[in-house]
Structures are given as C-alpha cells and as structure tokens.
Amino acid sequence: MTNRALIPDSAWQQVREVLTGFDTTLFLVGRDLDGWLRSLWKQALINPVPPGRPLSLPDFPVFCRMPAIRAMMDLGYMADLIADRTGASARVLTRLDADFIGVFAG
C-alpha cells in the first residue's frame, strides 16, 4: 500500500463516512518484508518531488529503520490503525511470500 503515514486524516475521514452504515471487513495482506521494503524505497526514489523541493531520502538501511516504516511492518498494529480509521468491524491478516502476485492472483 501507499505509505500510510502519507494519507491525510481528512482522507481517512472521507473513507469512514462512505462506509458508515456498512459492516466492513479489512483485508490486509503483507508481502515478504525485504521485497516490500525495497519496493517502497524505490517508489520514494522515482516518485516526483514537489517543485522547488530537493529529493530527501536516506540510504536504504536508514530508511528501513524509520519509525513510520517500522510501524507499517507490524500487520497487527496497521490493521488496528486502519480498522479504527475506516470503521471496519472485522479484519483478516495474512502474509504472502516473494511470489505474492502469483499467489494473490490465484
């Protein structure tokens, strides 16, 4: 998913408003951590930087230790947080291996 820390509270509020009155289940699927971390770091490198702002991204080992990134590694914590933000009444958590796209598509 997109870095959860980058989603503004107002967007979470809008999602919650849309889902109000519906019994919802949050499905959270975690990838293998190494592949996910590298993908997230790469996205931060290739995503456009706002005009007039320099690219500010730490080296990969430092990036992996950032508090927001560490928090996203904990599926239970993330599920609690997203369920709270969206009003989901139930949650399903799982992790997929390195071939997650093939498994998920199947």
DSSP 3-60: -GGGS-HHHHHHHHHHHTTS--EEEEEE--HHHHHHHHHHHHHHSPPPTT-------H
Q: Please report where in the chains the tokens 């997929």 appear, as a residue.
A: 96
**Model confidence over 32-89: pLDDT tens digits?**
888 889 988 988 888 777 777 777 788 999 999 999 889 888 888 888 988 888 889 9
Higher pLDDT: 97 or 62? It is 62
Q: For residue 100, what pLDDT band results from cuts at 50, 70 and 90? A: low
What pLDDT, on the 0 to 100 scale, is given for residue 61? 95
What pLDDT, on the 0 to 100 scale, is given for residue 24? 92
What pLDDT, on the 0 to 100 scale, is given for residue 55? 75
Q: Is the pLDDT of residue 90 over 70?
A: yes
